[in-house]
Structure 1
Amino acid sequence: MNRWLVATLLAWTLPASASDVRHFSNWEYRAIGPANMGGRTTDVEGVPGNPAVVYVGTGGGGLWKSVNGGTTWTPLWEREGSYSVGDLALDPRNPEVVWLGSGEANMRNSVSFGDGVYKSTDGGKSWTHLGLKDTEHIARVLVSPLDSNTAWVCAVGHQAGPNPERGVFMTTDGGITWKKTLFLDDRHGCADMDVDPKNPNILFAAMWRFERKPWNHTSGSEQSGIFKSADGGRTWKKLTAGLPKLIGRVGVKVAPSSPNVVYVACESKEGTFYRSVNAGDTWAEMTREREVVSRGFYYADLRVDPSDENRVYAVAGSLQVSLDAGKTWRVIANRTHVDFHSLWIDPQNPRRMWHGQDGGISVTYDRGETWDVVNNIPLGQFYQIHADNRAPFYQVTGGLQDNGTWTGPSRVRSSAGILNEHWQMVSFGDGFHAYSRPGDPDIIISESQGGAIILQDFRSGE
């Protein structure tokens, strides 16, 4: 199990002074689960034409890799300075080179921050920290399809206040040095970015003002919006023709098969989905469907089919597809989970796609008509855990972000160890606090979002 996941869970759950925390370094951690449901996934990346290799970045469980199509997974990013992945990018010229922007950019109240950019040249076995430590939340990393030393980073910046290390950064020496090329002020960061795959001098970036307080959040401004560079990201100009004046979070994507076609999904009181057919000079509203961008602070993303510029996917509360350039939509993947944050489409076989959401990951081989749910990575984000007093092995119960409340044993007599079958779901939704009744641990009282209280008797099943 991911070392950071366990250590963070313990740190949240056990009130401790600074001196107490130092004792944790001598503990030996033991994975007990659960691994039969996923957790918040921020990015999924595959290798074009190779269904065996998959990378999964998570909001609070680090980075994982499979070399057998998702059957088994290996944690890769366990000893770095963060456990939260914002975005991954595989070098188009060498998939063994992996760039990682740390710090989730889906700015909910329980988001985890990162400490900059990392790079691996051996498929994730070892990592080098490349700086930009104070960005904290990175939404996108792009690598030039023509030059492996050129890359761009789209950084949201601090969640709870202003800071200068945000916006768009560029390197031309493989990450040794960085130059900030798009910066509005210390309250506006970069929410998304894309590059023309046929002409990497053309880039689009979405700038966004976001700030969260304990009681509310600010999303959007008149300065927020879409910017374009025609010189490889060195200079930028704002695009306005046909777009809303007051705009929040924006997702932007170039159609790989026809780069003059560009789409944006935006948080706005006006339209939510726009299309340009002239590389951003002018924009046309395609729909005002609110489910395309239902909660801008949490998701406002999209993907374009690599072989069909009119086939577009909205990555939001649900995963939707449009076959007519965004005019009409239908939900796909409605039997997997909710709250989608990532979609990877194999450019050599667009029928194969991986998506990531609050419940883990799934894969399709028929363009989203059917999905295989791959829930075999321990990614759950516990809000709280409770241990009862039963003997000889106490039971652990906890509430998870968007994955209900689960209970399982701390140890079993079987030589096979704790298995997924030993864990049981107590309640659905967002799980929070959960406790067993004193003197009767088969009765568990749990809570979920909206103030619901659930009493479950595991002896009677009621």
Structure 2
Amino acid sequence: MRLLGVGMCAAALAVGLLASPAYAESGPDRSDGRDGRDGRDGRDGPGLRGAGWALKDTGKDARFRGLAAVSRSTAWVAGSKGTVLRTVDGGRSWRDVSPPGAVAEGLELRDIEAFDARRAVALSIGEGEASRVLRTEDGGATWTESFRNPDPRAFYDCLTFFDSRHGLAVSDPVDGRFRILSTDDGGRNWSVLPSTGMPDALPGEAGFAASGQCLVSAGSRDVWLATGGSASARILHSADRGRTWRVAESGIPAGDPAKGVFALAFRDRTTGLAVGGDYRTGQASPQAAAVSADAGRTWSPAPTPPPAYRSGAAWLPHLRGAALAVGPTGTDVTTDGGRSWRALAPGSFDTVDCTADGGCWAAGEKGRVGRLERTGPDS
């Protein structure tokens, strides 16, 4: 979007948060547990006790809105100034693998999807030729530009992959409909899909390039698109890799170019979360979360949403009802599938991503990257 082109048991929870020994990193992003929000009141279960973000020094000041978590040890981040970093040792060290051309032009890399430690696809945003797709097969040693947007009316926001071959990217509406870009060879080649199956966009409707999570997929064919900036914030769903779409109201407040759904997360093809709000500093964001249990056909407001705007969301691995939401004012956690949220840690992050081996990463402004870890006597 141009405005942003700017009740599981403690043992199960421990699978995700105790997969490695506690680290020494600490600081203002740790939950100290004194207010009961770390699980000591029994609502979250003792497994959340002491969980928090261990910051990983990247040595950079770029804003990382793009994040691809591969495992507890391997993650990629992408952001401003054409910056891409990669770690393969759990964040103890980072390699600058920025595409030289992206650095030279100061591209805004707002999304990155990685298949492993060597293969990744990154999206830069902006009007016309500023929207590009770059890919690497050698851990970022070299990059190939596989798509450069030729249409000055298009502005690409997010991308997602169903598997290592099939993926989509989305542009803000062109000729009154969102434009979908498709690849079936891992991002080597891209083509614009026909718009006949896409519902008409509302006046002013667009996607938010805030966290790389305005377009997300689950399984081999299902994909969801989050919108805002118009009279209502909507969520579109396709069950055929972007060829036809069904639209639903999210229930998250809109009615302003700065408001809407900023991020989606689906645990599987039926169970989803939506978070958002008003991204302007100091503005209230009531009812800024919603849940769906029917593949996005309908959405229900969270009875107890996060207290402020949130730009990123991810399901915690191995925990059926647990998820995280992040934003400029902190991180919140839910253990009941998104119906109620409680503060986990302060500190600003823009995006979050979790992996099957229990790794959860977050990234944001001023080079901030963290990994969810545990400290304390029961770690």
Question: TM-score, normalized by length of structure 2?
Answer: 0.65
Check if 1:153 corresponds to 2:122: yes
Contact 2:233–2:253 (CA<8 Å) still a contact in 1? no
59, 62, 69: which one aligns with 1:79: 59
343, 349, 361: which one aligns with 2:331: 361
Contact 1:89–1:141 (CA<8 Å) still a contact in 2? yes
- For 1:126, give the aligned amino acid: S
- For 1:374, give the aligned amino acid: L
Contact 1:168–1:190 (CA<8 Å) still a contact in 2? no
Contact 2:199–2:245 (CA<8 Å) still a contact in 1? no
| Alpha-carbon offset, residue 361 of structure 1 | 0.4
> Could you report, residue by residue, the CA deviation over 1:300-345 in whole angstroms, capped at 9, with x for unpaired residues?
44434323x2222222211101223333322227353222211111
Check if 1:264 corresponds to 2:225: yes
- For 1:178, give the aligned amino acid: W
Q: Tell me the percent identity.
A: 20
Q: Pick closer, same or farther for the CA change 1:313–1:241 going to 2, 3 Å.
A: farther
> Could you report, residue by residue, the CA deviation over 1:274-313 in whole angstroms, capped at 9, with x for unpaired residues?
222222222223x245637665666544434323x22222
Check if 1:312 corresponds to 2:312: no
Contact 1:64–1:76 (CA<8 Å) still a contact in 2? no
- For 1:314, give the aligned amino acid: A
Check if 1:279 corresponds to 2:254: no
Check if 1:243 corresponds to 2:198: yes
SS at match of 2:158: strand
> Could you report, residue by residue, the CA deviation over 1:147-196 in whole angstroms, capped at 9, with x for unpaired residues?
43111112214xxxx68453221111111111222221485443111111
Name the structure 1 match of 2:184: 230
Name the structure 2 match of 1:321: 291
Contact 2:264–2:313 (CA<8 Å) still a contact in 1? yes
Whole-angstrom CA distance in 2 between matches of 1:64 and 1:375: 5
Q: Which has the higher contact order (CA 8 A, sep 6+)?
A: 2
| Alpha-carbon offset, residue 271 of structure 1 | 8.5
Contact 1:261–1:277 (CA<8 Å) still a contact in 2? yes
Contact 1:70–1:374 (CA<8 Å) still a contact in 2? no
Whole-angstrom CA distance in 1 between matches of 2:241 and 2:130: 29
- For 1:312, give the aligned amino acid: G
Q: Pick closer, same or farther for the CA change 1:150–1:359 going to 2, 3 Å.
A: same
Contact 1:353–1:364 (CA<8 Å) still a contact in 2? yes
Name the structure 1 match of 2:77: 100
Contact 1:171–1:179 (CA<8 Å) still a contact in 2? yes
Q: Pick closer, same or farther for the CA change 1:228–1:120 going to 2, 3 Å.
A: same
> Could you report, residue by residue, the CA deviation over 1:83-103 in whole angstroms, capped at 9, with x for unpaired residues?
422122122xx4311211123
- For 2:166, give the aligned amino acid: I
301, 309, 315: which one aligns with 1:339: 309
Whole-angstrom CA distance in 2 between matches of 1:121 and 1:325: 34
SS at match of 1:291: coil
| Alpha-carbon offset, residue 71 of structure 1 | 4.3
- For 2:86, give the aligned amino acid: K
Q: Pick closer, same or farther for the CA change 1:122–1:350 going to 2, 3 Å.
A: same
SS at match of 2:321: coil
Contact 2:226–2:264 (CA<8 Å) still a contact in 1? no
Q: Over alpha carbons, which structure has the higher Rg?
A: 1
Name the structure 1 match of 2:68: 89
| Alpha-carbon offset, residue 255 of structure 1 | 2.0
Whole-angstrom CA distance in 1 between matches of 2:323 and 2:74: 21
Name the structure 1 match of 2:355: none
Q: Pick closer, same or farther for the CA change 1:171–1:65 going to 2, 3 Å.
A: farther
SS at match of 1:96: coil
Contact 1:299–1:340 (CA<8 Å) still a contact in 2? no
Contact 1:181–1:235 (CA<8 Å) still a contact in 2? yes
Name the structure 1 match of 2:356: none
Name the structure 2 match of 1:111: none
Name the structure 2 match of 1:116: 83
96, 114, 119: which one aligns with 1:143: 114
SS at match of 1:156: strand
Aligned length: 288
Name the structure 1 match of 2:215: 252
Whole-angstrom CA distance in 2 between matches of 1:265 and 1:48: 32
Whole-angstrom CA distance in 1 between matches of 2:235 and 2:86: 34
Whole-angstrom CA distance in 2 between matches of 1:294 and 1:90: 33
SS at match of 2:72: strand
Q: Pick closer, same or farther for the CA change 1:118–1:336 going to 2, 3 Å.
A: same
Q: Pick closer, same or farther for the CA change 1:186–1:79 going to 2, 3 Å.
A: farther
Question: What is the correspondence of 1:365-444 to structure 2 with a 5 Å cutoff?
Answer: 365-377=335-347, 379=348
Question: TM-score, normalized by length of structure 1?
Answer: 0.54
SS at match of 1:50: helix
Q: Pick closer, same or farther for the CA change 1:89–1:289 going to 2, 3 Å.
A: closer
Gaps of 5+ in 1: 1-46, 55-62, 104-113, 209-219, 381-462
Which sits farther off after the overlay, 118-127 or 134-143? Answer: 134-143
RMSD over equivalenced CA pairs, Å? 3.5
Whole-angstrom CA distance in 2 between matches of 1:311 and 1:361: 21
